[in-house]
C-alpha cells in the first residue's frame, strides 16, 4: 500500500525513478511498462545480472524485453571478474547522465540494496583497490579458521565497523579487513554520504507473502525448464568455479552440488526455492530500512494509480 509524498526534491535537478523490490515481485514487467510509457531507459541494479553468460539463473531480461526498452549495466563482467561497489556507483551515475543527455528518463531497477543505496544516497565508498596477496591470506584464514576468526580480527583492528557490519557476510568482513590493514583507517570513518543531484521517486513493489513465494517457485520451475542445469555445466566447463561470487549465487551453487553428486536434482530444486524465499525476506529487511520508498502491493489492482504517481512526479520536475 502507498505511503505519502516521499520524493527527494532538489531545485533544478533531473528526475530519477527507482524501482525496489524482492526477487520475482514483478520489477521487470513494471519497468518495461514505465519505460515505454515515459520514454525511459532501464539501468540494472542487480549484482548477478552484471555477469555475462549467466542468463537463466539470474533471470535477466530477455532479448525481446531489451528490444522493448534499452537496458544498461547488464553483461558488463565475465564471471571471474570483479565489480566493486565504487565502480558500480560510478558506472550508474555516468549512465544516468547519459540517459538524461538523450532526453530520456532513467529508471534504476533492481534488488541489490547496496547498489541502490550507493546511487540514491550517494554513499562515499573507500577507493581502496583490492590487494591480491592480502586477499589470498585472508581467504586462507577464512578457509582454515572460519568466519569467526576473521570477525574477531576485525573487532580488534576496526571495532567501529565490526559493531555495524553483517557478521555473517564473509565478503563484507574481508573487504573491511582489507581497508583497515591497507590504509590504517576504519572503513566506517572513510565512508559517508553525498546526495546525488537528482529528484528521486522511489517505488517499492510488494505482494502478499503467499503470492510472492508462488511466483518464486514458478520462476525456478521455469529456469529448470529453460536449461539451468545446462547453463551451470557450461560455466563449470569454462573454468568458472566456487568460490567466485558469481558461482556461489543462488541457483548455481545448488545445481553445482547436484552436478557433483552431493544431492539429487529434486533436492537441489527444492533447496533453491527454500533459499530464495529466505533471500526475499532478507531483501525486505533491507528495503524497509529506507524511509523514502513509496510502496505498492501488486497483489491488488492499483497499477493505474502507480502510473499516475509517476506521471504527477514527472509533471512537477520537468
Percent of the chain with pLDDT over 90: 71
d(CA 171, CA 71): 28
What pLDDT score does 165 carry?
Answer: 84
- Give strand pairing partners of 16: 200
How far apart (Å, rounded) are the C-alpha atoms in residues 200 and 13? 9
Q: Give the tens place of pLDDT for each residue, 237-253.
A: 999 999 899 999 999 99
Residue reference for cell 536434482: 265
pLDDT band at residue 187, thresholds of 50, 70 and 90? Answer: confident
pLDDT tens profile 48-70: 999 999 999 999 999 999 999 99
pLDDT at 9 > cutoff 60: no
Q: Which CATH number fits domain 7-124+193-317: 3.40.50.300, 3.40.1190.20, 3.40.50.2300, 3.30.2320.80?
A: 3.40.50.300
Specify the CATH architecture of the domain 132-190: Orthogonal Bundle (1.10)
Q: Give per-residue pLDDT as tens, 259-296.
A: 999 999 999 999 999 999 999 999 988 888 787 899 99
Q: Could you state, in order of their start, the residue ranges of all structural domains in the chain?
A: 7-124+193-317, 132-190
Give the rounded distance of the alpha carbon of 39 from its chain centre. Answer: 24
Residue 312 neighbours by CB distance under 10 Å: 13
SS3 21: coil
- Cell readout for 286 is 533491507
pLDDT tens digits, one per residue of 67-110: 999 999 999 999 999 898 889 999 999 999 999 999 999 999 99
Amino acid at each position: 500500500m502507498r505511503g505519502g509524498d516521499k520524493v527527494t526534491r532538489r531545485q533544478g535537478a533531473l528526475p530519477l525513478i527507482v524501482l525496489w523490490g524482492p526477487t520475482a515481485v514483478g520489477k521487470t514487467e513494471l519497468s518495461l511498462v514505465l519505460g515505454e510509457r515515459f520514454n525511459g531507459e532501464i539501468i540494472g541494479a542487480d549484482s548477478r545480472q552484471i555477469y555475462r553468460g549467466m542468463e537463466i539463473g539470474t533471470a535477466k531480461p530477455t532479448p525481446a524485453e531489451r528490444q522493448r526498452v534499452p537496458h544498461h549495466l547488464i553483461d558488463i563482467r565475465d564471471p571471474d571478474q570483479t565489480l566493486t561497489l565504487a565502480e558500480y556507483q560510478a558506472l550508474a551515475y555516468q549512465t544516468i547522465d547519459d540517459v538524461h543527455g538523450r532526453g530520456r528518463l532513467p529508471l534504476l531497477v533492481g534488488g541489490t540494496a547496496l547498489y541502490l543505496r550507493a546511487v540514491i544516497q550517494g554513499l562515499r565508498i573507500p577507493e581502496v583497490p583490492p590487494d591480491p596477496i592480502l586477499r589470498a591470506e585472508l581467504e586462507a584464514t577464512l578457509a582454515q579458521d572460519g568466519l569467526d576468526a576473521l570477525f574477531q580480527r576485525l573487532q580488534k583492528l576496526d571495532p567501529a565497523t565490526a559493531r555495524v557490519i553483517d557478521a555473517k557476510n564473509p565478503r563484507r568482513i574481508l573487504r573491511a579487513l582489507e581497508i583497515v590493514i591497507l590504509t590504517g583507517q576504519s572503513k566506517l570513518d572513510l565512508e559517508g554520504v553525498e546526495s546525488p543531484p537528482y529528484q528521486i521517486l522511489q517505488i517499492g513493489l510488494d505482494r502478499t507473502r503467499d503470492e510472492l513465494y508462488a511466483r518464486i517457485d514458478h520462476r525456478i520451475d521455469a529456469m529448470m525448464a529453460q536449461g539451468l542445469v545446462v547453463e551451470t555445466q557450461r560455466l563449470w566447463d569454462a573454468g568458472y568455479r566456487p568460490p567466485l561470487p558469481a558461482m556461489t549465487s543462488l541457483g548455481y551453487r545448488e545445481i553445482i552440488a547436484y552436478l557433483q553428486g552431493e544431492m539429487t536434482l529434486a533436492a537441489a530444486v527444492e533447496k533453491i526455492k527454500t533459499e530464495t524465499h529466505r533471500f526475499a525476506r532478507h531483501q525486505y529487511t533491507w528495503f524497509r530500512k529506507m524511509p523514502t520508498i513509496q510502496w505498492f502491493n501488486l497483489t491488488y489492482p492499483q497499477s493505474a494509480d502507480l502510473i499516475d504517481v509517476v506521471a504527477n512526479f514527472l509533471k512537477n520536475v520537468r
